[in-house]
């Protein structure tokens, strides 16, 4: 894992500055503390910070082809690089290193931009081709590795994180108010937007070509649902396990120590199960963290799996103070506002694991591919409600929400009922985002000052979600939902969270569930094998029946959540009210202070459970103080 950055003067007579490039590279040092390299020639500047994982001795970047006409800076891992290297050697390509970086260079020489079709891995890279006088940027299929770009003062600028781009003196730091509106709806800024005006994310599965002073973005890959499996269930389960095991095997290739994040849920437990078939379980280092708040704690579930397989288990129980103490560090790494509070424990478990290993495996992607989220159950429940008149289907739920006492435990009945109710007000295209997000368009109309010029049409605020829905209108409804989650929530929340939290601790995290061959197979499994009789991940659990403890297979889905509501009412209360002082909010000129004040009072008096909205606003204000003042 690494950090990359660079810029090009579109006026070829101008020359880049080593000082500027080094300043951009310095912002990425935690992504790559082991080595650095830069390339400056004519109007092009490329920078690289390296976290050494494979080919420790000769993997220095920037890296060149034989005659030096092609140069690359690259962040990621290509898991099939050894197979590709063999193919390319047969085509007379000569290799000087043992790194996957050089495989990308020669694949580009051989296949051009179509090289992307051959890569199975996670990556973001930039290739400068002096023969063609062009720049080629690309990002992996699911967006596990980030890449941002911008155009300022006739200069094309890119980097692994916005902070690298912001370091360039030509870049103007302005909030994109439309992106802020989307953040408050999604709890993250969805691709291709960023919180900063004129800075963009390269979308997952996309490439960017810059030539003759113009750039063009093109999607090179998308999920396919066309070929559903046509063999029986047991054959499907056997193939699923075979592909998962092979995916794990590929991700055990490393020249440094590695381990695995273990929550005790189905996904991480299945990864440990596959690892135990490939290596001595005593050599598997598993890492988990727990919380003193019982409703949020999964440490006992992780211990069950560690004991079952006999792994070298490492566990840490966190106090509220431990988690709150790292909030400043997290704000340092979050150069975009981000309201998924699980970034705090993700950061801490990454820091904990980094004391022992340099690489970990995780279970990311399992919930999306196998319909594991509670919102997929809600999706099915809606089918039973849709044929009823509004007054009949909503009245019992409203009564239940009033009867259920407001509780700030994990996923309380009151919280789930209110969430489900509000989603019923929206069409399928955007309903899921309403369920999992924070501020609805109606909320935002009250929150923003009237002079912001925002369009509060739900299909404008949720246009990213609707765009993906339109791509798959012909699929069954659960496949549509799965596709949207993968394209939005998984890419810009889950994977972004893990990337930022782990790389801030110079730790690489690999995701076996997102292997190319495995995902091609998983998307071909009919949705009724995944969600059956209101049981999520049905086929995955059934396939693992003889490989995992029964209590693990029966465990209900629990996210990597933290008790933010309790914190905001206790330990964080002074900071919360300080963040929303009238003078401060009015001075920013974005939000209506009276609305925020009322929101806070509803929350602290337990009148309405608005923990998600309060936390999203709080994280924005903390981000604003760090990055915009």
Active site residues: 2
The reported pLDDT for the residue numbered 229 is: 66
Alpha carbons 593 and 142: distance in angstroms, whole number: 39
Residue bearing tokens 């063009």: 216
Which residues, including other chains, have CB under 8 Å from residue 546's CB and lie 6 or more apart? none
Quick one: what percent of the chain has pLDDT higher than 70? 92
Q: What is the 3-state secondary structure (H, E, C) of 331-359?
A: HHHCCCCCCCCCHHHHHHHHHHHHCCCCE
Determine the pLDDT at residue 395. 59
Phi first, then psi: give them for residue 553, nearest 5 degrees. -65, -30
Cα 191 to Cα 176: distance, rounded to the nearest angstrom: 13
Q: What is the pLDDT of residues 123-144, one digit of tens each?
A: 999 999 999 999 999 999 999 9
pLDDT of residue 155: 97
Q: Where are the alpha helices (DSSP H) in 215-334?
A: 233-250, 266-278, 299-309, 320-325, 327-333
| Cα–Cα distance for residue pair 249/395, rounded to 1 Å | 52
Rounded Cα distance, 441 and 129, in Å: 45
Q: State residue 421's pLDDT score.
A: 81
pLDDT digit string, tens, across residues 172-218: 999 999 999 999 999 999 999 999 999 999 999 999 999 988 999 99
SS (H, E, C) 405-457: CCCCCCCCHHHHHHHHHHHCCCCHHHHHHHHHCCCCHHHHHHHECHHHCCCCC
Structure tokens at 68: 């030096």
* Rg of the chain taking only CA atoms, in angstroms: 24
Which residues in the chain show pLDDT less than 50?
A: none
pLDDT at 500: 96
3-state secondary structure of 101: helix
Q: Which residues of 280-301 are buried (b: 16+ CB within 10 A; e: fewer)?
A: ebeebbbbbbbbebeebbbbeb
Q: Which two tokens stand for residue 181?
A: 């509106």
| Structural domains of the chain sorted by starting position, each given as residue range(s) with its CATH number in brackets | 2-219 (3.60.20.10), 233-370+501-554 (3.40.50.620), 374-480+563-627 (no CATH)
The residue ranges of DSSP E strands in 173-293, in sequence order, are 199-201, 206-211, 214-219, 258-261, 285-291
Helix (H/G/I), strand (E/B), else coil: 17: coil
What pLDDT score was predicted for residue 82? 94
């Amino acid at each position: 894992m690494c950090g990359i950055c660079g810029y090009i003067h579109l006026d070829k007579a101008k020359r880049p500055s080593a000082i500027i490039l080094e300043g951009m590279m310095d912002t990425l040092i935690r992504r790559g503390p082991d080595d650095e390299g830069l390339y400056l020639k004519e109007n092009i500047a490329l920078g690289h910070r390296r976290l050494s994982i494979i080919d420790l001795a000769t993997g220095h970047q920037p890296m060149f082809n034989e005659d030096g006409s092609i140069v690359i800076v690259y962040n990621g891992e290509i898991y099939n690089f050894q197979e590709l290297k063999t193919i390319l050697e047969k085509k007379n390509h000569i290799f000087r290193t043992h790194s996957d970086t050089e495989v990308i260079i020669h694949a580009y020489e051989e296949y051009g931009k179509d090289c992307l079709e051959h890569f199975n891995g996670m990556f973001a890279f930039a290739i400068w081709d002096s023969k063609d006088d062009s720049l080629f940027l690309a990002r992996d299929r699911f967006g596990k590795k980030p890449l941002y770009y911008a155009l300022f003062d006739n200069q094309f600028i890119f980097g692994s994180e916005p902070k690298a781009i912001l370091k360039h003196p030509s870049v103007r730091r302005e909030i994109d108010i439309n992106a802020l509106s989307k953040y408050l709806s999604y709890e993250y800024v969805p691709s291709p937007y960023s919180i900063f005006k004129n800075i963009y994310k390269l979308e997952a599965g996309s490439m960017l070509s810059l030539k003759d002073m113009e750039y063009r973005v093109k999607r090179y890959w998308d999920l396919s649902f066309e070929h559903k499996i046509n063999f029986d269930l047991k054959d499907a389960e056997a193939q699923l396990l075979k592909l998962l095991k092979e995916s794990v095997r590929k991700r055990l290739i490393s020249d440094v120590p590695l381990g695995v994040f273990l929550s005790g849920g189905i996904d991480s437990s299945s990864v440990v199960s596959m690892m135990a078939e490939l290596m001595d379980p005593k050599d598997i280092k598993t890492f988990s963290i727990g919380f003193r708040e019982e409703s949020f704690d999964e440490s006992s579930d992780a211990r069950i799996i560690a004991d079952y397989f006999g792994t070298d288990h490492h566990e840490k129980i966190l106090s509220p103070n431990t988690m709150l103490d790292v909030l400043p560090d997290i704000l340092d790494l979050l150069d975009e506002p981000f309201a998924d509070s699980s970034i705090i424990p993700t950061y801490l478990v990454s820091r904990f694991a980094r004391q022992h290993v340099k690489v970990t495996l995780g279970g990311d992607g399992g919930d999306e591919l196998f319909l594991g989220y509670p919102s997929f159950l809600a999706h099915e429940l809606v089918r039973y409600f849709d044929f009823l008149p509004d007054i009949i289907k909503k009245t019992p739920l409203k009564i239940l929400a009033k009867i259920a006492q407001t509780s700030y435990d994990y996923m309380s009945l009151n919280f789930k009922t209110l969430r489900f109710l509000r989603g019923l007000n929206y069409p399928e295209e955007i309903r899921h985002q309403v369920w999992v997000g924070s501020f609805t368009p109606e909320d935002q109309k009250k929150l923003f000052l009237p002079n912001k010029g925002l369009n509060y049409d739900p299909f404008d605020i949720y246009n990213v979600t609707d765009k993906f829905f339109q791509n798959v209108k012909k699929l069954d409804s659960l496949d549509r939902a799965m596709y949207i989650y993968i394209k939005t929530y998984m890419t810009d929340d889950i994977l972004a969270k893990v990337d930022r939290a782990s790389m801030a601790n110079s730790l690489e995290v690999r995701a076996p569930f997102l292997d190319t061959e495995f995902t091609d197979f998983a998307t071909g499994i009919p949705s009724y094998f995944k969600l059956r009789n209101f049981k999520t991940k049905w086929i995955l659990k059934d396939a693992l029946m003889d490989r995992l403890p029964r209590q693990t297979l029966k465990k209900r889905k629990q996210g990597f959540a933290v008790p933010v509501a309790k914190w905001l009412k206790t330990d964080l209360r002074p900071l919360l009210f300080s963040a929303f002082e009238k003078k401060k909010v009015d001075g920013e000129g974005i939000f209506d202070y009276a609305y925020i004040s009322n929101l806070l009072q509803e929350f602290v008096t337990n009148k309405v459970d608005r923990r998600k909205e309060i936390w999203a606003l709080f994280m924005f204000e903390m981000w604003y103080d760090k990055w915009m003042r």
